[in-house]
Structure 1
Amino acid sequence: MKSKGYMAFLVGGALRDLMRDTQPRDYDVVTNASIEQIRLIFRNSKTIGKRFPIVHTYFAGDVIEISSLKSDDAEDVGESQRELLVADANLRDFTINAIYYDIRTFEVIDPLGAIKHLEEKVLVPIGDPYERFREDPVRMIRAVKLSERHGFTIEPELERIIHELGDTMLEIGPGRKYEELTRILLSDYAVEVVTRLRNLGVFRFLWPAGESLLAERGPAILEQARIPVPVHYSRGSFSKETHMKLWLGLFMLSGHQPGTSGKYERAVLDDFLDPLGMPFRNPVVDCLVCLGQLMAQKGAFGGMPLNGEVSNLVEFYVGYFDPKLSHQLEQFHKHHASAKKGRSRRPGEKGKPSGGKRPRGRRRRRRRPAK
C-alpha cells in the first residue's frame, strides 16, 4: 500500500497484542484506498462482507485483512490523516481496538486515549454502547472473548447492557453465528467464554440447542468434543475436516443414537444446529448413517457408498469416542472393498484371460467418405 502511494496503518487486535508483548494471531490493516483499489493492488485476494467489506489477502498461507478507513462522512476526500483516523476510530467497537501504527513513520497514533485503557486492562466501548451493540450484536461476543482470553475487565454497567440486549443475537445471520461459535468452540478458552455468555443470558439466543445441552451435560462436554479435533487451516480459516469433526463429536456426545435413514439423520442434525448456518452437512449425515449401520451390525450395510471423506469421519468417531465399534468398522471396510472389487469386473467376466491381457474386441470397419 505504501509503495502505491496510499496510507496504511496496522490496527486492532494485532497492534493491541504487540503492545502487550503477545504474539498476534492475525493482522488488520486500514488504508485510505477504496476496496476496489485494494483488490487491484492485491490480485490474490477476495472481498468479505457487504455492510462492512474487508479484503482478505493471502501471503504464504496467512491472511491479512485490509479495510478502507471508515467515516460517517462520505465526502472525506481531502481530509487530513488525523481527521481520517479519528473518524475511523469513532466507528470501532472498543477503544483498545482503535490504536494505529503508521508503517511510514513508525509512530503509534492514539486518537481516543486508548493506551491508558490498555494499560488498565479495561474495556471501554466507543460511543453509546446500546447503539454500538445494536449496530452489530457480535460486539457483545467480542467483549466476552476479550475479557476471558486477555483478561480485560467488563464493568458492571456494561455487563447489564449486554444482558439486556441478549435477544439482539437473533438478528445475526446464520452463517455468521456459526463462524463465531465455531471459533469459540475450537479455542482453548471455549468453556470460559461460553459459561460467561450463558451467565449474561446471551448464549441461549445464539444457539438454543447448545443451551439445553450444556444445562443437561455441563460445560465439560465442550472440551470432550474439542480436544480430539485436529485443527487445520485452509487460507486462514479452519479446514472443512476441522469443522465436520467438531460438530460430529458434539452431536454424538449430546446423546444422539444414529439410525440408518439419511433423511431422518439430516432432520435431527438440522434441529440440533438451528439456527447456525453450518456448511458441509452432507458428509456428516452420511457418517451418521454409517455409524447407525455399524451399531445395528447389519452385514450388508445397506449398500451405502463410502468415500474417503466419510470414511475419515467414521474412523475419527470410532477411534476417539466409541472404540467398541472397531470390529464392526473393520468388517464394514472389508464389505466395501469386496463390493468395489466386484463392481470393477465386467458383467459375465469370471477372471482375467490367459496371459493377463484383455480379449480384443472386433475392429470396426472405417466408413469411406462419400464421393
Structure 2
Amino acid sequence: MRKLFRNCRLVGRRFRLAHVIFGAEIIEVATLRGHHKMLNYQYSKVSTTSFKYNNGMLLRDNIFGSIEEDAQRRDFSVNCLYYSIEDFTVRDYTGGLIDLRDGKIRMIGDPETRYREDPVRMLRAVRFAAKLNMIISEETAKPILQLATLLDNIPPARRFDEALKLLHTGYGELTYRLLCKYQLLKPLFPLISKHVTEHGNSYMENMIILVLTQTDRSFHKSSIVNPALLFAAMLWYPLLDYAQKLMQEKPIFYLEAFVLSMTNILDEQCKTLALPKKITTLMRDIWQLQLRLSRYPNKKARKLIEHPKFSAAYDLLLLRAKIEEKVELKRMTNWWRELQATVPLCNNK
C-alpha cells in the first residue's frame, strides 16, 4: 500500500490497517486475514502470530490469509460480503445474502468464542440490529447476557468511541432499548444502570428516550448533533440524586453539593467512557446554567442569553419541562423563550 500510495499511513497495533488519505476523506484498507496461530500471556515480534489472553480476548491479530479464510474471520455474516472487481459479482462465503434477506444478524463461528476474542462484537451486534432494522439470531444473542461483563476489559477510550456509534448516529433510541434488553448498559453507563426501573418510566429513563429521539431526528435532518448535550441530559437525574445524597450526608448548601456532584459524576462516568475534556467542560456549563436559568426574571437575563452555551442549556431545560410537566418549569421555559424573541440578533449558539 505504501508503494502504491504516497498518501498512505499505517495505523493500529491490534489490527493493522492502512489509511489512504484523499483530502478530507480516508479510505481504510485491511489485508485479508488468515487463521490464528495462538500465543498466550505475552507478546512476540513475529508478525504471523496472534495473541490472546486467558479469557480468550485477542490482543493482536495481523495474519495474512486467503479470501476464504478471511470470510471465516469476519464477525457477522451480513458483514462478510465481498465485491469482486474482476467479474463484478458479490461473493458470499457464509450465507450473508440469505441472512440479509431474512433480516437476521448472525455470528460467524461459535458466538461465545467470538465474543471472548473481542467483546465489542456484542455492541456491534446491537448497533447493526438497530441501524439495519434486523433481529439478532437466537444463537448469536444467547451468550450476550452472561458475557456482558467482558466489556469491562475494553479500554474506556474505545468504549467511548463505540458509545458514540451506538447513540449518536441516528438510531440511538432503538439502540438504547436493545442495550437494556441484553444488559449491555452497565459496562457503558453504570450510573444510569443503577437507576433503571422495572417499568422504564422514571424521569431519567423518559429523559434518555426523549433526548435520543430528538438526537436521531436531528441526525437524519443533517442538523448539528451535540454529544455533550446528549450525555448531560442522560446523566442529569443521576446528578440530582447524587447532590441530594451529599446533602443528607453532610451539612452543606445545595450549590456546593451540586458542584461536588458534577465532579463525582463525571469522574465516575469517565472510568467506563473516556469522555474528552471538551465534552466534560461543556457538560459542566450546561448543568451549571440550569441553576442560573432558574433565577428569573433578573437584570442579567439578557446577558445570560449571550453565553456561548446558553442554547444547549436551554435545550436541556426544554427537555426537563417535557419530562416533569411541572408548572414552574413550563413557566420558566416560556419566559426565556419570550426573552430570546426580543433579542433576535443575540449570538447564543
> 1:275 matched to which residue of 2?
272
Indicate yes or no: 2:193 matched with 1:211. Answer: yes
Call closer, same or farther: CA 1:306–1:285 in 2, change over 3 Å: farther
Mapped to 2, the partners of 1:158 and 1:53 lie a distance apart of: 27
Q: Which amino acid aligns with 1:242?
A: N
Percent of residue pairs bearing the same amino acid type: 21
Indicate yes or no: 2:257 matched with 1:265. Answer: no
Indicate yes or no: 2:166 matched with 1:184. Answer: yes
Uncovered stretches (5+) of structure 1, i.e. residues with no partner? 1-32, 77-81, 338-371
Aligned-pair CA distance for 1:94: 1.5
Q: What secondary structure is seen at the aligned counterpart in 2 of 1:203?
A: coil
- Tell whether the 8 Å contact from 1:162 to 1:200 is kept in structure 2 after alignment: yes
* 1:163-182 alignment, distance < 5 Å: 163-182=145-164
Call closer, same or farther: CA 1:306–1:259 in 2, change over 3 Å: farther
Number of residue pairs the alignment of both structures matches: 286
- Tell whether the 8 Å contact from 1:190 to 1:222 is kept in structure 2 after alignment: no
Mapped to 2, the partners of 1:307 and 1:135 lie a distance apart of: 50
Indicate yes or no: 2:84 matched with 1:102. Answer: yes
Match of 1:131 among 113, 119, 125: 113
> 1:70 matched to which residue of 2?
33
* 1:1-371 alignment, distance < 5 Å: 33=1, 36=2, 40-42=5-7, 49-55=12-18, 64-72=27-35, 84-215=66-197, 217=201, 219-229=205-215, 230-231=218-219, 242-252=226-236, 256=240, 259=255, 264-272=261-269, 274-279=271-276, 280-296=279-295, 309-318=308-317, 321=320, 324=332
Mapped to 2, the partners of 1:274 and 1:233 lie a distance apart of: 33
Mapped to 1, the partners of 2:166 and 2:175 lie a distance apart of: 7
Q: Which amino acid aligns with 1:287?
A: I
Query: Could you give the per-residue CA deviations for residues 274-306 of structure 1, whole angstroms, max 9, x where no partner exists?
Result: 4211112112213322332333569698xx999
- Tell whether the 8 Å contact from 1:283 to 1:309 is kept in structure 2 after alignment: no
Mapped to 1, the partners of 2:146 and 2:137 lie a distance apart of: 14
Mapped to 2, the partners of 1:194 and 1:227 lie a distance apart of: 10
- Tell whether the 8 Å contact from 1:231 to 1:242 is kept in structure 2 after alignment: no
Mapped to 2, the partners of 1:47 and 1:177 lie a distance apart of: 22
Q: Which amino acid aligns with 1:128?
A: D
Query: Could you give the per-residue CA deviations for residues 11-64 of structure 1, whole angstroms, max 9, x where no partner exists?
Result: xxxxxxxxxxxxxxxxxxxxxx4xx557x4446xx7664312445556686654
Aligned-pair CA distance for 1:185: 2.2
TM-score where L is the length of structure 2: 0.65
Mapped to 1, the partners of 2:313 and 2:283 lie a distance apart of: 9
Aligned-pair CA distance for 1:225: 1.1
- Tell whether the 8 Å contact from 1:58 to 1:64 is kept in structure 2 after alignment: yes
Call closer, same or farther: CA 1:186–1:326 in 2, change over 3 Å: same
Aligned-pair CA distance for 1:119: 3.2
TM-score where L is the length of structure 1: 0.61
Q: What secondary structure is seen at the aligned counterpart in 2 of 1:108?
A: strand
Mapped to 1, the partners of 2:268 and 2:297 lie a distance apart of: 27
Mapped to 1, the partners of 2:315 and 2:23 lie a distance apart of: 29
Query: Could you give the per-residue CA deviations for residues 156-192 of structure 1, whole angstroms, max 9, x where no partner exists?
Result: 3332211221111111221222222233223554343
Query: Could you give the per-residue CA deviations for residues 185-207 of structure 1, whole angstroms, max 9, x where no partner exists?
Result: 23554343333332323322332
> 2:53 matched to which residue of 1?
none
- The alignment's C-alpha RMSD in Å is 4.2
Aligned-pair CA distance for 1:96: 2.1
Aligned-pair CA distance for 1:104: 4.2
- Tell whether the 8 Å contact from 1:147 to 1:153 is kept in structure 2 after alignment: yes
Q: What secondary structure is seen at the aligned counterpart in 2 of 1:90?
A: helix
Mapped to 2, the partners of 1:282 and 1:307 lie a distance apart of: 18
